[in-house]
Structure 1
Amino acid sequence: MPPNPTTYPIGFAATCARATLYILLVAALLQGAYLEALYLDETRFTERGYTELTQSALLASVSLLLIYTRQVLKAAPTLTLLLFAFAFSSLIREQDAWLDIYVAKHTWKVLVALVIVPTLYWVIQKRHQFLEEFAAYSNTFSFGLFASGFLVTYVFSRLYGRSEMWMAILGEHYQRTFKDAAEEITELLGYSLILIAAIELVLLARRWQQARSTP
């Protein structure tokens, strides 16, 4: 079981520095979406637009950070594997349009199944270890951010981006661009929260390493 992370709490100065960096990250991502809407008429909020490509970049970064946490830092192997499967499956899902065009229809579903099924099987086999790791992770800042990112991306954005809602709001002035912008930018926020959660997990794993090496 990983050491108790509260043994090495985050200092106030470090918290302020990280909060500042995260604020700048979110602001930069949103500014990019604003510039996309302003200048990229042909591709804005499409598969080839800034927002969609940035979502993929964020998910790729999350996947790499989770691999690093598991393989290099050797922290919570079952938990990090499950989180990786989730992030990498989401990355595959974001490529569905490209896969449909250049490979075959519904290719993304097959690829996601190839990631999720063996991962779930392995985690179920190691379920006692997983529960111990989850107990250590569930009370952390990283978990709170990850849960928030999940809710924003997979619950709120889906409901907020419904065509019916934007038709009701805009009435006769409805255009699909409004719906697409609302959904994609909200997803971008959710993925940014998941990225911050992955960064915090790396830092948490380093504290766990420190705890293990301390007599």
Structure 2
Amino acid sequence: MLKKTIKPSTKGFKTAIIRFIVYGAIVYIAAEFLKWNVKHETGQSKFTEDSMVEAVQSMILLTCSLIYLRVSFKYKSMFPLSFGLFAFTFASLIREQDALLDEHIYDGAWQTAAFSLLILAAILIYRKRAVFLSNMNDFVSKFSFGILLSGIFTTYIFARLYGRKVFWMAVMEAQYTRDVKNVSEESLELFGYTLILIASVEFYYFAKAHHTMAVRGNEETVNQPNVYLKVGS
């Protein structure tokens, strides 16, 4: 008797290769941009609040925010989680504009705007906490979640500690130069934001697949015959 052989699928391997090429290219572009930027900025303008690096970081955060906001309204089953992620990235964008907001509105304006948005998100998540927890149960095992955590740890924890003045003064001692500290810290932050961008793209496809499965499940439930009907009723 011939045994039926199961041909292994190469779909997962192909997806991994595509991810490696596309996301590797994005990271490469970010590194090349840093090299280009440091060559074209001179004097005291290297990686300051008005630098191109800061502008690109803001553009990345804006892109992530728009992706999460689109998911929030396009795939309603993912609303609590996607809106929470939108609030997080948009609050980070507001934080990046702190100098501009403090100068043109009032001192501390960014705190008011950012925390107001986060509080709104917290209220919406609490009101839909059952859906949020269900979303999180599905999300934590996905590629997007791991990349998102990597980006958050890189940008909001490691880069902040790595960029401490006391550390760089110990490294360079009498040759301490603030520009070197800024370049190093902001470069690491840009890499972290790049990871968060990749995570947001992956989240969009995760939400799309999640929504498709939810719709398919609902259709199967509606089309399932009622087995509780009595015979001859």
For the pair 1:164 / 2:166, whether they are aligned, the reply is yes
Partner of 1:79: 81
The structure with the largest alpha-carbon Rg is 2
Give the distance between the partners of 1:72 and 1:24, measured in 2 at CA.
Answer: 29
User: How far, CA to CA, are the matches of 2:214 and 2:133 in structure 1?
Assistant: 19
Q: CA deviation at 1:160?
A: 0.3
Map of 1:172-187 to 2, 5 A cutoff? 172-187=174-189
Distance 1:11 1:74 in 2: 28
Give yes or no for the alignment of 1:13 onto 2:14.
Answer: yes
Question: What is the alpha-carbon distance in structure 2 between the residues aligned to residue 91 and residue 71 of structure 1?
Answer: 20
Root mean square deviation, CA, Å: 1.6
Matching residue's letter, 2:196: I
CA contact (8 A) 1:70 1:80 kept: yes
Q: Displacement, 1:48?
A: 1.7
| 5+ residue gaps, structure 2 | 1-9, 221-233
Q: Which has the higher contact order (CA 8 A, sep 6+)?
A: 1
- 1:104 aligned residue (103, 106, 114): 106
Do the aligned residues in 1 keep the contact of 2:77 with 2:131 (CA within 8 Å)?
no
Q: Which amino acid aligns with 2:48?
A: T
Q: How much has 1:165 moved relative to structure 2?
A: 0.5
> 1:209 corresponds to which residue?
211
Relative distance call for 1:112 and 1:182 in structure 2 (3 A) is same
- Distance change >3 Å, CA 196–CA 90, structure 1 → 2: same
* CA shift digits 1:13-61 (9 cap, x unpaired): 1221122111111111121111111111153201221211110000000
Kept in 2: contact 1:69–1:75 (CA 8 A): no
Q: Which residue of 2 aligns with 1:118?
A: 120
**Residue pairs, 1:11-90, within 5 angstroms:** 11-41=12-42, 43-90=45-92
Query: Structure 2 counterpart of 1:190, which letter?
Result: G
CA distance in 1, matches of 2:138, 2:87: 20
Shift of 1:119: 1.2
Name the structure 2 match of 1:142. Answer: 144
- Larger deviation, residues 67-76 vs 129-138: 67-76
State percent identity of aligned pairs: 33
Q: TM-score scaled by structure 2?
A: 0.84
* Contact 2:98–2:110 (CA under 8 A) maintained in structure 1: yes
1:162 positional shift: 0.4
The amino acid that maps onto 1:135 is N
| Counterpart for residue 6 of structure 1 | none
- Secondary structure of the 1:76 match is helix
**1:51-109, CA deviations, whole angstroms, 9 ceiling, x for partnerless residues?**
11110000000001101111123341101111111000000000001111122111100
| Residue ranges of structure 1 left out of the alignment (5+ in a row) | 1-8
Contact 1:56–1:94 (8 Å) recurs in 2: yes
Residue 93 (structure 1) aligned to one of 88, 92, 95: 95
Q: Distance in 2 between matches of 1:205 and 1:129?
A: 13
How far apart, in 2, do the equivalents of 1:51 and 1:123 lie? 33
Give yes or no for contact 1:32–1:50 (8 Å, CA) kept in 2. no
**Separation in 1 of the partners of 2:200 and 2:107?**
31
Give, in angstroms, the shift of residue 182 of structure 1: 1.4
Residues in 2 aligned to 1:110 and 1:75: alpha-carbon distance in whole angstroms: 30
